[in-house]
Amino acid sequence: MSKRKLSLQQQRRMTKQRIKTAEQPIEGLSAGLVITNFGQRLLVEAEDGAIHNCAVRQHLGKLVAGDRVFWEADGESGRGIVSAVSPRYSELTRPGFRGQTRMVAANIDVIGIVAPIEPGVHPDMIDRYLVAAAQLDIPVALIINKIDLLQTDDAWDNLAEILLPYDEMGIDIITVSAHLADGLDDIEQFLNQKTSVFVGPSGAGKSSLINALIPDLAIRTSSLSSATGLGVHTTTNSILYHLRCGGDIIDSPGVRRFTPAPCDLSELESYYADFAPYLGQCRFDNCTHQHEPDCAIRQAVEEGDIAETRFNSFQGMRQAFTDPSKNSGGQKHRDKIK
């Protein structure tokens, strides 16, 4: 291969790299936001709000809802081509075929963990989502849905007790009822100017909340369908919706359930903010805080400084991560970390 050829290739690679990671507007290209992907194409929202059905230059890889891109019209009205993408500051993926990961959403600012009064607010569940979000380094809020079902003071007290450790850790807690549209203002205020996803177990009310926050959801989805030209919106891919209050929510089956990736003991400990003051104070460096003597974590639990529910969820995850046979399907469904 001649020197000249090599340098041309190098130049081309460098140019590609520059375009691929461009943060600043590029001459001749317009900034846009990916609303959804379908097949090999994207629906891109231009700065004026118009939606364009765009092809993607091959070297950019898979782009998803939330990606910030640069595009240009390709002659036909409503059609375009995406040539560059801004670097992502966060990404959500899920396992795909043959151990590969599938990108689901990009540039998420906050994860709303939806926990329902019925069938119950379970710390175990909340803590798994908290660890998964911590692995992604994305902030969370706890959204307690179905508070219309809290009929008595005792029920409220019970809830307050379950939530106390999270409150003490400084996690935002928002109580809502999607059915009564109660607390929606609080959610809107929280989601304002952010890009969010809702995660949580099946039946928590994620769809109900999204419907309550976006009253014209059906109309919007059907207008996206006509923009893709697929007639019915059959895609199961992520879709980005704007909220009335400002800010966006990205919804898809793939982002709704996510579980932590197995990690080692010290990494898991690092995701338990309430353990931090006691770490390093056990007799053994590699203390599992289960049966070892002079364990500072267990002592903190006994003295009421660490909630028992938090300790139990920690031990549950620790065992599942170190003994995969106890990991009930979590590994199969886990979302990989960036």
Residues in touch with ligand GTP (CB under 6 A): 145-146, 148-149, 177-179, 200, 202-208, 256
Contact of 83 with 57, CB cutoff 8 Å: yes
Q: Judging by DSSP bridges, how do beta strands 239-242 and 195-199 pair with one another?
A: unpaired
Ligand-binding site membership of 282 (annotated): yes
| Nearest alpha-carbon partner for 35 in 52, 21, 23 | 52
Q: 147 among the known binding-site residues?
A: yes
Q: If you count DSSP H runs as helices and E runs as strands, how many of each does the chain have, helices first?
A: 11, 13
Closer residue to Zn ion in complex, CB, 88/310: 310
Instruction: Tell me which residue has tokens 């003051």.
Output: 277
For ligand GTP, the closer of residues 54 and 114 by Cβ is 114
Q: Among Zn ion, ligand GTP, none, what does residue 289 contact (CB within 5–8 Å per kind)?
A: Zn ion
Instruction: Pull the structure tokens for residue 21.
Output: 């990671």
Is 200 a known ligand-binding residue?
Answer: yes
Question: Which residue in this structure is represented by tokens 């029920």?
Answer: 155
Q: How far is the CB of 203 from ligand GTP (least distance, A)?
A: 4
The listed partner (Zn ion, ligand GTP, none) that binds 178, CB under 5 to 8 Å by sort, is ligand GTP
Q: Which does 287 bind (CB under 5 to 8 A by kind): Zn ion, ligand GTP, none?
A: Zn ion
Alpha carbon distance 274, 83 (integer Å): 45
287, 300, 306, 317: which one contacts Zn ion (CB under 5 A)? 287
Which H or E run includes 79?
strand 79-85
The interface mask with Zn ion, positions 241-280, x = CB under 5 A, is ----------------------------------------
**Please, which residue, 63 or 295, has the CB nearer to Zn ion?**
295
Q: How far is the CB of 241 from ligand GTP (least distance, A)?
A: 14
**From the CB of 146, what's the least distance to ligand GTP, in Å?**
4
- Smallest separation (angstroms) from ligand GTP to the CB of 207: 3
Q: 42 CB contacts (<8 Å, ≥6 apart)?
A: 34, 35, 36, 53, 54, 56, 63, 69, 82
Q: 149-185 b/e with 16+ CB inside 10 Å = b?
A: ebeeeeeeeebeebbebbeeeebebbbbbbeeeebbe
Q: Which of 80/200 has CB closer to ligand GTP?
A: 200
The reply, when asked if residue 332 is annotated as ligand binding, is no
CB atoms within 10 A of CB 88: 18
Q: Tell me which of 295, 301, 306, 307 binds Zn ion, using CB under 5 A.
A: 295
Q: Which sign, positive or negative, has the C-alpha torsion 57, 66, 54, 100?
A: positive
Alpha-carbon Rg for the chain, nearest whole angstrom, is 23
Q: Among Zn ion, ligand GTP, none, what does residue 249 contact (CB within 5–8 Å per kind)? A: none
Q: Is 86 annotated as a binding residue?
A: no
Shortest distance, position 272 Cβ to ligand GTP, whole Å: 26
300 binds Zn ion (CB under 5 A): no
In one-letter notation, the amino acid at residue 168 is: E
Closer residue to ligand GTP in complex, CB, 24/202? 202
Answer for which of 282, 301, 306, 307 binds Zn ion (CB under 5 A) is 282
Angle ∠(118,119,120) on CA atoms, nearest 5: 80
The binding site for Zn(2+) comprises 282, 287, 289, 295
Binding-site positions: 145-148, 200-208, 282, 287, 289, 295
Annotated binding site for GTP: 145-148, 200-208
Q: Which residues bind Zn ion (CB under 5 A)?
A: 282, 287, 289, 295, 297
